[in-house]
Amino acid sequence: MNIMRTAMLLAFMTALFMGVGYLIGGTGGMGIAFLFAAGMNLFSYWNADKMVLRMHNAMEVDARTAPEYYEIVRGLAQNAGLPMPKVYLINEDQPNAFATGRNPQNAAVAATTGLLQRLTPQEVAGVMAHELAHVQNRDTLIMTVTATLAGAISMLGNFAFFMGGGSNRENNNPLGAIGVIVAMIVAPFAAMIVQMAISRTREYSADRRGAEICGNPIWLASALQKIAIAAGRIPNEEAERNPATAPLFIINPLSGQRMDSLFSTHPATENRIAALQQMAGEFAGAVPVRPAAPRSPTPSGPWGGGSASSTPRRSNVPNTGNKGPWS
């Protein structure tokens, strides 16, 4: 159902883009809009992941520079049957994370230093499992295409504003000035709604699959609660400068959304937590996945540094004695 809904929304977005071109320039404008959209999507398909990571000053880490964090991602990727993604760290106090990449073979996951500092290893595992679920479901590509089309529609709306209605007959615009007004105001607004709807649809699916990957829905539920509270208090300056990337994050980095409204980029956190808590009953008796301590004899913290006295923090999840997939 989610796949069909997403496909329908993407088809509507494409049709909307071509419709805006038709309203501005008739059949010729529609053809130009189609070529423009194809070019932007081709560029974003190959380069969007690098652009997003660069926007947020993400730094790639490995088993040497971030042993605990890297080991969590590695174990979860094995558990999900995915290739090992590139792992990035963002020097940002707001706890958050996102995934990007056109497919599982070219994927990357990124977490902020605030996330690793404020969450337990179990909660970090829940968050990164959610991001790997996005990779497995190809959500990163879907969101990239949607964001590209939404941005292109807004650009066409701006073009309609500067063009005005004086050349409607020359451009074979069938609706005249009304068509220009629709292209200028209604179309970008509709594109924004579709982009938000796709993001919200995919978050619920990623929550469920992420809970399956890490083996315990409560870890992700607890993490979502902590992240949502902190995101409402701690500003994310890079996200504020690049709001188009907000739907990629596990929690809206721009504001603490508390209602499932038409204008939110993410579902209400309370609803997501409730769904995960309901899932917890389905996982009764399942073997949970537990983050492992670093392999080095001296723990160095989830992103490197630290001291010999550093130890993973405990969570309120009972210790079952079961080993995770990386043990």
Q: Is 288 part of a structural domain of the chain?
A: no
Residue 86 pLDDT: 97
Q: What is the DSSP letter of 234?
A: S
Report how far Cα 151 is from the mean position of its chain's Cα atoms.
17
Neighbour tally for 152: CB within 10 Å: 21
- Domain range holding 56? 2-282
Q: Is 298 part of a structural domain of the chain?
A: no
pLDDT in tens, 148-174: 666 667 666 666 656 554 444 445 555
Q: Is 292 part of a structural domain of the chain?
A: no
pLDDT in tens, 42-71: 777 788 788 889 989 999 999 999 999 999
**Domain total of the chain:** 1
Q: Is 158 part of a structural domain of the chain?
A: yes
> Taking Cα atoms as reference points, which of 27, 225, 34 lies closest to residue 123?
225
Residue 244 pLDDT: 74
Q: Is 51 part of a structural domain of the chain?
A: yes
Burial of 264: CB neighbours in 10 Å, binned 0-12, 13-18, 19+: middle
Q: What pairing do the DSSP bridges indicate for beta strands 86-90 and 108-112?
A: parallel
Q: Is 78 part of a structural domain of the chain?
A: yes
| Segments of the chain with pLDDT less than 70 | 1-7, 9-10, 13, 24-25, 147-152, 154-200, 255-265, 284-327
* 266 labeled binding residue: no
Q: Is 315 part of a structural domain of the chain?
A: no
Q: Is 325 part of a structural domain of the chain?
A: no
- For helices 121-136 and 139-163, the axis angle rounded to 10 degrees is 70
Q: Which residues have a catalytic role annotated? A: 131
